[in-house]
A and B are shown apart, each in its own frame.
Chain A
Amino acid sequence: MSEKEVKNLEAIFEARIARDEKIEPKDWMPEKYRQTHIRQISQHAHSEIVGMLPEGNWITRAPSLRRKAALLAKVQDEAGHGLYLYSATETLGISREELFDQLHSGKAKYSSIFNYPTITWADIGAIGWLVDGAAIINQVALCTTSFGPYARAMVRICKEESFHQRQGYEIMLTLCNGTPEQKAMAQDALNRWWWPSLMMFGPRDADSPHTEQSMKWKLKRKTNDELRQQFVDQTVPQADILGITVPDPDLKFNAETGHYDFGEIDWDEFWQVVKGHGPCNKERMEARVGAWERGSWVREAAMAYAEKQAKKKVAKAS
């Protein structure tokens, strides 16, 4: 294909997206669109499955059978989300195993929030409330993204997510209506999870070089800072209902803008955790790699069995 032809195709492609047409896997797409989508969707998938670990940490210790079942179902949902997203990525011509390799080798990133430890039961409440809450804000925006398989996965995921945040908030509510000790546990969790939750929306717009392209492809419908603001605006009143305090002395409602002003994120911490220096980066990777390696003989056995069965079938038929 000549350069001119490619330019022409690109123009048609961009026009389709501008008209809100969906792009499907077999459609022609610019190589950069494909690569960007592989990177972003798989990053999202990795986040879902690494995200199982901090919460999975509390399944055996959940304080009641009702909470245990809900948490188990929630963590399982995250596995499902990972699965849907890996499948969406696979339509772009890369296998799940290759994507796992990228995760395990450290080449691929996942959401840094999961590199923080869950040290009390209240952390499970805080994650559902804040982390799933932040994720939902990102994900709702993605339900109308341009790449069909990604958008469809997001629609299914958003439907399933709705119970996650409620589950977390209910845990927090119960703690805050409980004994002083329980309420202190809830406050402590908010103190530790608030800032990392704000970091989930990524660097400031000024430091986010891909934003313009991503907006064009509808991979982003709002900028990082817009989404972060939306999160703060919706979450602060929820903290008020709980009767616990957001750990930000600069936080106050701005009647003029109709939004909450809030303090500066510790960007050094943000970048350090991204680079692998968070409290649990190593543990999370060891858990993922370990599970994959320990499972290798199992996956092989299933394939060997399937082949034997298929041969038997053929032998019977002939």
Chain B
Amino acid sequence: MKDQDLYNYILGIADNSLILGQRLGELCGHGPNLETDIALTNIALDLFGQTRSYYQYAAKIAGDGRTEDDIAMLRNERDYKNVLLVEQPNTHFGHVIARQFLFDVYHLQLMNALQHSEDEMLVAIARKGVKEVSYHKRFSGDWLKRLGDGTDESKQKIQEAIDHFWPYTDELFDMSDSDKKMAEQGIGVDLTALKDEYYKQISEVLEEATLTIPDNPYSKRGGKQGIHTEHMGYILTELQYMQRTYPNMTW
């Protein structure tokens, strides 16, 4: 493939939206009430919309006849490049919100920066994405505050969730080889430059939510290199079920 690095770069972004969307999709119909259910589904729909743009673009770059769905659903686990954070389960609503917020802050930074890419297609996707993700961040941030400064029980639960996910945040800023090459060419984003601002923003909201900022003990990483947690296989089992069971069919 001529543009292997661009292809890899796009999948690196797309897979995060795909796997997080998949997690949120599990929740539809099971939220704490109807309004929240509808809101979380809107976020999932935004994420899946983004993934379609990315994979369609990736399919064009690959130029080997594979479709968006082939790329989204027919890779082996080691070839998925999403960060570990987004594949973590919906243990309880606090986990859903904490995972979302920790991702949204990064995601918005990424979308903002990607608007200045040398690649027109990525600029177009990012311009749409900025608006969607701004709302996601607003939603998850507001809920973080509600749970943090709500009842004793909710405070304890959301703090536990933040502590649990904290070690996964550092990976967001890892640069794969393709990431580096794309950043050098002005197509991709230099993630390392986003890090300080990320933790600054997160800390501000955690403080407002009367929560404690965890001191980072040791980071968990690997997703970007295709080394996932044990959850990933099950996510893919569902995601790929139809495509694997009935190969080469149109749906």
Chain A positions near chain B (C-beta within 8 angstroms)? 49, 52-53, 56, 59-69, 72-73, 75-76, 79-80, 82-83, 86, 121, 171, 174-175, 178-179, 181-182, 287, 290-292, 294-306, 308
A291 engages B30 (CB within 8 Å): yes
CB distance from B8 to the nearest CB of A (A): 20
A76 engages B149 (CB within 8 Å): no
Residue among B28, B31, B38 making CB contact with A295, cutoff 8 Å = B31
A298 engages B251 (CB within 8 Å): no
Given contacts A72-B44, A301-B146, contact A65 B251 (CB under 8 A): no
CB distance from B145 to the nearest CB of A (A): 7
Chain B residues numbered 197-251 whose CB sits less than 8 Å from any CB in chain A: 235, 238-239, 241-243, 246, 249-251
Given contacts A52-B29, A60-B25, A66-B52, contact A301 B242 (CB under 8 A): no
CB distance from A127 to the nearest CB of B (A): 14
What band does the interface of chain B fall in when counting residues whose beta carbon is under 8 Å from A?
35 or more
A64 engages B69 (CB within 8 Å): yes
Query: Is the C-beta of B113 less than 8 angstroms from some C-beta in chain A?
Result: no
Which residues of B sit under 8 angstroms from A64, Cβ to Cβ?
69, 73, 251
Stretch at the interface among B101-109, B125-133, B150-158, B168-176: B150-158
A182 to B49, CA, bound (A): 27
What are 5 inter-chain pairs, A to B, with CB distance below 8 A? A69-B45, A72-B44, A175-B251, A290-B30, A291-B30
Query: Is the C-beta of B5 less than 8 angstroms from some C-beta in chain A?
Result: no
A182 to B41, CA, bound (A): 29
Which residues of A sit under 8 angstroms from B52, Cβ to Cβ?
65-66, 69
Given contacts A65-B72, A79-B41, contact A72 B25 (CB under 8 A): yes
A66 to B194, CA, bound (A): 33
Beyond known contacts A79-B28, A174-B251: 12 more, CB 8 A cutoff = A61-B238, A65-B52, A67-B251, A72-B28, A79-B41, A83-B34, A181-B249, A287-B30, A295-B93, A301-B153, A304-B151, A305-B146
CB distance from A9 to the nearest CB of B (A): 36
A302 to B154, CA, bound (A): 9
A303 to B73, CA, bound (A): 41
A302 to B29, CA, bound (A): 20
A59 to B29, CA, bound (A): 11
Residue among A56, A63, A83, A179 making CB contact with B35, cutoff 8 Å = A83
Query: Is the C-beta of B55 less than 8 angstroms from some C-beta in chain A?
Result: yes
Which residues of A sit under 8 angstroms from B68, Cβ to Cβ?
65
B92 engages A59 (CB within 8 Å): no
Given contacts A75-B41, A301-B150, contact A53 B242 (CB under 8 A): no
Count chain B CB atoms within 10 A of each CB in A60, A62, A171, A178 and give the residue with the most. A60
What sequence of 0s and 1s flags, for each residue 58-82 of chain B, a beta carbon within 8 Å of any chain A beta carbon? 0000000000110011000000000
Which residues of B sit under 8 angstroms from A63, Cβ to Cβ?
69, 242-243, 246, 251
Count chain A CB atoms within 10 A of each CB in B26, B28, B72, B157 and give the residue with the most. B28
Q: Which residue of B lies closest to A53 (CB)?
A: B29
Query: Is the C-beta of B4 less than 8 angstroms from some C-beta in chain A?
Result: no
Given contacts A49-B34, A60-B238, A61-B241, contact A301 B154 (CB under 8 A): yes
CB distance from B49 to the nearest CB of A (A): 7
CB distance from B72 to the nearest CB of A (A): 6
A75 to B238, CA, bound (A): 18
B151 engages A291 (CB within 8 Å): no
Which residues of A sit under 8 angstroms from B249, Cβ to Cβ?
178-179, 181-182
A295 engages B29 (CB within 8 Å): no
A80 to B37, CA, bound (A): 10
B51 engages A182 (CB within 8 Å): no
A69 engages B49 (CB within 8 Å): yes
A79 engages B151 (CB within 8 Å): no
Residue among B22, B34, B150, B246 making CB contact with A79, cutoff 8 Å = B34
B251 engages A121 (CB within 8 Å): yes
B250 engages A178 (CB within 8 Å): yes
CB distance from A141 to the nearest CB of B (A): 25
Chain B residues numbered 106-134 whose CB sits less than 8 Å from any CB in chain A: none
A305 engages B31 (CB within 8 Å): no
CB distance from B21 to the nearest CB of A (A): 8
Which residues of A sit under 8 angstroms from B38, Cβ to Cβ?
76, 79-80, 83
Which residues of A sit under 8 angstroms from B238, Cβ to Cβ?
60-61
Please list the 9 inter-chain residue pairs (A to B) with the smallest Cβ-Cβ separation, ordered nearest first.
A295-B32, A301-B150, A301-B154, A63-B242, A63-B251, A52-B29, A56-B29, A298-B32, A76-B41
Q: Which residue of A lies closest to B158 (CB)?
A: A301
A61 to B239, CA, bound (A): 5
CB distance from B40 to the nearest CB of A (A): 9
B25 engages A298 (CB within 8 Å): no
A65 engages B30 (CB within 8 Å): no
Which residues of A sit under 8 angstroms from B29, Cβ to Cβ?
49, 52-53, 56, 75, 79, 287, 291
CB distance from A35 to the nearest CB of B (A): 24
Given contacts A59-B28, A295-B32, contact A69 B150 (CB under 8 A): no
A60 to B72, CA, bound (A): 13
Q: Which residue of A lies closest to B242 (CB)?
A: A63
CB distance from B157 to the nearest CB of A (A): 7
